[in-house]
Structure 1
């Protein structure tokens, strides 16, 4: 019996199930769960407030679970303002910008990582250096250009720039990921008669789902939550996005916090759903692009 117990303990230890290791993993998970609850508190409080009766949002003592759940707050939000139209506008701008960002940034990153041409290092440093410029620095020049093009109060100023890479950070992420893929794949494909574009489309992109998901999530968040640029370029109520509409809704119902939280919940839910389904690729893409440095 003693020999059998020793054998079992040895097997458990070899398999990584020693008491110390189990205690450490339990402690780690408790810390992670606690931190998750702490960081989730604003979202939970927003959802809780959105279901409270109007005028009782700050009742004392505070209640995370309201005694009376009022689903009508969401119906009031959808009927009081053209929220559906603003939702469609935001979705259209976000999808169009996301497609342009992923397509053009991946092409630029592929050229900087996989193609051999003169001054490639210079162009890479130029792209990286533009990351040091805040977006507000180019805000006035862009405004003047779009005004000359008669693009004011249209969606073009919010979509067209995304079809030029969508920012140096996206190009840099793609470049770092593509640099981590062995060049042997390209050489083998060229021996089979594939050109650079075919290698990019048939070989590199299918291997790049993590970084594509990462850039797509960043682009989605930037465009979905954008406030300053839509506020500058859009003036017609029928062209408003959710961010502008939410601000206008706040001005109209500045004391009805239950309605404000209901409107905010409608705005936030798509982001949570997107990250829930793409978080595996997102984390993998961030880790890989951080390790690649060639």
Structure 2
């Protein structure tokens, strides 16, 4: 094959790859665009057939209605407290347990690790009733303690951080111990600063999963004032099962915005921490 033919072939291949990426990106963005445009449509356009993507008459009525029909500001605050509280607790307890399993030798460590991994295979629905009974016995139904405490630690988070801690060079903490650092100092000053990528990853997963969770807030709260965004949106169903899709999309758009902002704020820090892992 001549140089000219090879160049034309490479150019055609790049065009095909670009077209495939553009189609894939459009397919991924289409649901988000539908949510955005539907949130600004009046009810008549939302229910019109055939449906249209862009609204003919832009309106903020759906946003006004969701704050009028629901205590939406309180639901947003509850979601932040719930998801943020679970995330903070999980980072603390999961990192402590993971450090013990990764860097400290004690009898029964292997059995404990196997038990934690095995618990990942148990669906949380199987433990939902006994956990609810325990929360009810403590009087924590319709409280933030009842929402946060049962999720303060997670088997996946422990295993995930443990695997990352194992990958860190032992020379880091051995050098600290030679300098007289205690176990707590090694954990806080050596291991955690070098585990920022894993901690940020776990924080994102935990916050997003709890922010979007529907079943948990529905089970552990039965008062509207203690609900979250996801559980509050279920209250929008009208008589006869009629769903105001425009209002629902407006609420969904508001619910997505904090996650998008959080990702934009964290991504740069995440990339920087990956580049500097092991050299702090």
TM over 0.5: yes
> How do 1:11-30 residues align onto structure 2 when only pairs under 5 Å count?
24=13, 27-30=16-19
Question: In the alignment, which residue of structure 1 is the partner of 2:228?
Answer: 241
Deviation at 1:246, TM superposition (A): 0.5
Deviation at 1:172, TM superposition (A): 0.8
Structure 2 vs 1, CA of residues 75 and 206 (structure 1 numbering), >3 Å: closer, same or farther?
Answer: same
8 Å contact from structure 1 (residues 97, 162) kept in 2: yes
The list of structure 1 runs, each at least 4 consecutive aligned residues, that deviate by more than 6 angstroms after superposition, is 18-22, 280-286
Deviation at 1:92, TM superposition (A): 0.9
**Which runs of 5 or more residues in structure 1 are unaligned?**
1-8, 10-17, 287-294
Question: In the alignment, which residue of structure 1 is the partner of 2:260?
Answer: 272
Encode CA deviations 1:250-290: one digit per residue, 9 max, x unaligned: 3469342211111111112212222333356779999xxxx
8 Å contact from structure 1 (residues 113, 176) kept in 2: yes
Question: In the alignment, which residue of structure 2 is the partner of 1:290?
Answer: none
Structure 2 vs 1, CA of residues 123 and 50 (structure 1 numbering), >3 Å: closer, same or farther?
Answer: same
Deviation at 1:179, TM superposition (A): 0.9
Which stretch of the first structure deviates more once superposed, 18-27 or 66-75? 18-27
Which stretch of the first structure deviates more once superposed, 111-120 or 186-195? 111-120
Question: In the alignment, which residue of structure 1 is the partner of 2:201?
Answer: 214
Encode CA deviations 1:187-221: one digit per residue, 9 max, x unaligned: 11111111111111111111112111111111112
Structure 2 vs 1, CA of residues 227 and 128 (structure 1 numbering), >3 Å: closer, same or farther?
Answer: same
Question: In the alignment, which residue of structure 2 is the partner of 1:174?
Answer: 161
**TM-score normalised according to structure 1 size:** 0.83
Deviation at 1:117, TM superposition (A): 1.6
Q: What do you get for the CA RMSD once the two structures are aligned?
A: 2.5
Output the CA distance in 2 between the equivalents of 1:141 and 1:80.
34
Structure 2 vs 1, CA of residues 53 and 224 (structure 1 numbering), >3 Å: closer, same or farther?
Answer: same
Corresponding residue pairs, total: 268
Pick from 32, 43, 54 the counterpart of residue 54 of structure 1.
43
Question: In the alignment, which residue of structure 2 is the partner of 1:144?
Answer: 133
8 Å contact from structure 1 (residues 250, 260) kept in 2: no
8 Å contact from structure 1 (residues 214, 281) kept in 2: no
Pick from 175, 178, 202 the counterpart of residue 188 of structure 1.
175
Pick from 239, 259, 262 the counterpart of residue 250 of structure 2.
262
Which stretch of the first structure deviates more once superposed, 29-38 or 169-178? 29-38
Output the CA distance in 2 between the equivalents of 1:89 and 1:128.
31
**Which runs of 5 or more residues in structure 2 are unaligned?**
275-280
8 Å contact from structure 2 (residues 236, 244) kept in 1: no
Pick from 237, 256, 280 the counterpart of residue 250 of structure 1.
237
